[in-house]
């Protein structure tokens, strides 16, 4: 299913090179999100390693990259500030347990219910968030220790290197695809800065600006196993459980939506429930090995796909190279100019944003256009999980409203003098009022038949509406029959028991109704 290349050797080469590219892009992201959460940069780097390698090996979507993310970091910041880092580790581990349970109970399939306008809004909003996050790289620490926008020569160099990076990524694939364009751009920009002695901030400069420590480095040791140092009692559970629920929800939503996006890009199908379990296992590992947890990363996943990474090898290589850079090669990684990584992420933004949404915005229903704009805006203003929930709820309400207006009836009187209401449309909570207004118990003949051949009884509100209608006809001294009920409709009525006291006309052609409720 995932063998996208006829030549396995070529795919392995592409996976290795794209994994190396992704690793270079993961470093500043992991460091930045660690600062957001209020923890040491190594906590973010360890999380990126564990999330990356475990989901690459066991996940349900080869080619998708996971690591420390901003969506997780913004939830953790209040927990860390209020209770400390050990409670964060406990919450991350519990988050992983909840994600595994979601996979075991096959909840991953529900991501397929996210409407396409919500997906468009999610992609556009995330592209904007990625773009805005890169703008912070154009700031530097002044003499007073405050961040301010670059000016003059340094700003000019920064912009020039970003533009050159983007140009290399745009034009190189037209010449050759032997090397991922992003990797070639990062190496080229690094060599130019070293060769010409350009004054442009590097990854280690960024790290030292964030920490205020001029000796700060990415170098670190092996992650070690440690049980979170929190009391093992109900009070601890009361503190961490709400955070764990939010973290698990945010992580799964972002991961499964990214999985769906990669599915579309590669024209393959990932396994959502397997991904839930892998994400959970990775987060449990983070909780016991000093990581801040994480989820799938759309930016790095896009870099991987665009660089030719399709198999599990790309994610494994990215994670291993990341850890190796911490253990052995920190000085080499630290000299990479931030401008090169900003240029790569800007190209990700251009490739991620659905520019076609501008073209179709006037050609689709106004409600869908509203959902796209709403989800994009909420993603930028709050976070992804809230945006998706809002988008799905608004889409569901629009759907319910439209279908509530669709219920109607075609009426006629048969040769026996019975009035037949041939019902059309779904009968559910949104349409019951319109349904009841279709009937006229006072003026109808003695015998009335409701034909459900082209209708559907969907929920408890529909059962109540049928019961209400039955009572109205009973008070008028008239008989009500139901015809052509589907098997699931009959099942609902059987479960309702005495709630619905109506006559059901036997249908000699379809054999789906009887007089049990008569």
Q: What's the whole-number mean pLDDT along residues 374-389?
A: 83
Q: What's the whole-number mean pLDDT along residues 338-351?
A: 86
190: Cβ contacts below 8 Å, ≥ 6 apart? 335, 336, 337, 340
Choose from 283-297, 400-414, 502-516 the range with maximum mean pLDDT: 283-297
Residue located via tokens 């790095």: 300
For the cut 70, the answer to whether the pLDDT of residue 502 exceeds it is no
Residues 165 and 309 in one domain: yes
- The per-residue pLDDT for 503 is 53
484: Cβ contacts below 8 Å, ≥ 6 apart? 451, 452, 453, 507, 510, 512, 513
* Boundary-marking domain end, from 346, 381, 402: 402
Of 297, 308, 313, 314, nearest to 266 by C-alpha is 308
Q: What's the whole-number mean pLDDT along residues 131-142?
A: 83
Q: What's the whole-number mean pLDDT along residues 98-109?
A: 90
Residues 58 and 141 in one domain: yes
Residues 276 and 337 in one domain: yes
Residues 398 and 412 in one domain: no
Residues 176 and 256 in one domain: yes
* Boundary-marking domain end, from 335, 370, 402: 402
- The per-residue pLDDT for 510 is 39
Residues 321 and 389 in one domain: no
Q: Does the residue 78 lie in any domain?
A: yes
Q: Does the residue 518 lie in any domain?
A: no
Q: Does the residue 513 lie in any domain?
A: no
The pTM of the whole model exceeds 0.75: no
- How far is CA 197 from each of CA 200, 209, 337, 513, rounded to the nearest angstrom? 9, 20, 12, 85
Of 273, 257, 299, 244, nearest to 48 by C-alpha is 299
Residues 310 and 325 in one domain: yes
Q: pLDDT of 419-452, one tens digit each?
A: 999 999 888 888 999 999 999 999 999 999 988 8
Task: Tell me phi and psi for residue 336, to 5 degrees.
Answer: -70, 130
- The per-residue pLDDT for 72 is 87
Residues 398 and 410 in one domain: no
For the cut 80, the answer to whether the pLDDT of residue 217 exceeds it is yes
Residues 209 and 296 in one domain: yes
Choose from 99-108, 452-461, 475-484 the range with maximum mean pLDDT: 99-108
Q: Does the residue 2 lie in any domain?
A: no
* Boundary-marking domain end, from 289, 320, 354: 354
Task: Tell me phi and psi for residue 226, to 5 degrees.
Answer: -155, 130
- The per-residue pLDDT for 353 is 86
Residues 440 and 472 in one domain: yes
Residues 378 and 421 in one domain: no
Q: Does the residue 85 lie in any domain?
A: yes
Residues 346 and 368 in one domain: no
Collapsing DSSP to helix, strand or coil, 374 comes out as helix
For the cut 60, the answer to whether the pLDDT of residue 331 exceeds it is yes
For the cut 50, the answer to whether the pLDDT of residue 258 exceeds it is yes
Q: Does the residue 509 lie in any domain?
A: no
- In the numeric block, which tokens belong to residue 107? 């909840």
The CATH number that applies at residue 449 is: 3.30.750.24
Q: pLDDT of 285-312, one tens digit each?
A: 999 999 999 999 888 898 899 888 888 9
Domain containing residue 367: 362-402
pLDDT band (50, 70, 90) for residue 515: very low
Residues above pLDDT 90, as percent of the chain: 34
Q: Does the residue 72 lie in any domain?
A: yes
Q: Does the residue 60 lie in any domain?
A: yes
pLDDT band (50, 70, 90) for residue 490: low
- In the numeric block, which tokens belong to residue 469? 């209608």
- In the numeric block, which tokens belong to residue 357? 């949404």
How many separate domains does the chain show?
3
- The per-residue pLDDT for 280 is 96
């Amino acid at each position: 299913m995932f063998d996208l290349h006829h030549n396995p050797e070529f795919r392995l080469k592409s996976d290795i090179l794209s994994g190396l590219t992704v690793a270079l892009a993961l470093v500043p992201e992991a460091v930045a999100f660690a600062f957001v959460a209020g923890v040491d940069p190594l906590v973010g780097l360890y999380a990126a390693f564990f999330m990356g390698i475990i989901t690459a090996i066991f996940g349900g979507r080869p080619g998708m990259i996971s690591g420390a993310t901003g969506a997780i970091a913004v939830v953790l910041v209040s927990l860390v500030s209020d209770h400390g880092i050990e409670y964060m580790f406990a919450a991350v581990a519990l988050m992983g347990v909840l994600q595994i349970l979601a996979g075991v109970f096959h909840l991953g399939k529900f991501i397929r219910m996210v409407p396409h306008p919500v997906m468009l809004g999610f992609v556009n909003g995330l592209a904007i968030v990625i773009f805005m996050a890169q703008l912070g790289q154009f700031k530097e620490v002044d003499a007073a220790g405050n961040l301010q926008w670059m000016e003059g020569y340094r700003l000019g160099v920064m912009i020039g290197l970003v533009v050159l990076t983007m140009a290399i990524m745009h034009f190189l694939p037209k010449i050759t695809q032997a090397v991922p364009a992003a990797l070639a751009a990062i190496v080229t920009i690094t060599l130019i800065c070293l060769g010409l002695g350009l004054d442009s901030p590097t990854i280690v400069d960024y790290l030292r600006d964030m920490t205020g420590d001029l000796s700060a480095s990415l170098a670190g040791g092996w992650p070690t196993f440690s049980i979170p140092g929190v009391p093992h009692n109900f009070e601890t559970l009361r503190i961490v459980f709400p955070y764990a629920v939010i973290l698990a929800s945010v992580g799964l939503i972002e991961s499964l939506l990214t999985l769906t996006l990669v599915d579309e890009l590669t024209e393959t199908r990932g396994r959502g429930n397997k991904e839930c379990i892998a994400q959970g296992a990775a987060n449990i590992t983070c909780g016991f090995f000093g990581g801040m947890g994480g989820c799938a990363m759309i930016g790095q996943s896009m870099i991987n796909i665009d660089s030719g990474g399709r198999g599990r090898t790309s994610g494994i290589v990215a994670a291993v190279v990341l850890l190796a850079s911490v253990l052995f090669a920190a000085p080499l990684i630290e000299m990479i100019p931030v401008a090169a990584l900003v240029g790569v992420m800007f190209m990700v933004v251009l490739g991620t944003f659905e520019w076609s949404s501008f073209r179709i915005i006037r050609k689709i229903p106004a409600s869908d256009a509203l959902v796209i704009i709403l989800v994009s805006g909420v993603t930028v203003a709050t976070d992804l999980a809230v945006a998706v929930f809002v988008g799905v709820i608004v889409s569901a309400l629009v759907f319910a409203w439209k279908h509530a207006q669709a219920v109607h009836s075609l009426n006629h009187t048969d040769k026996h003098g019975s009035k037949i209401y041939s019902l059309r449309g779904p009968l559910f909570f949104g349409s019951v009022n319109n349904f009841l207004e279709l009937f006229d118990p006072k003026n109808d003949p003695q015998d009335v038949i409701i034909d459900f051949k082209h209708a559907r009884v969907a929920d408890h509100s529909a059962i109540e509406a049928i019961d209400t209608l039955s009572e109205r006809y009973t008070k008028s001294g008239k008989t009500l029959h139901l015809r052509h009920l589907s098997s699931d409709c009959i099942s609902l009525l059987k479960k309702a028991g005495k709630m619905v006291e109506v006559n059901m006309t036997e249908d000699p052609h379809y054999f789906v109704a009887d007089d049990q409720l008569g």
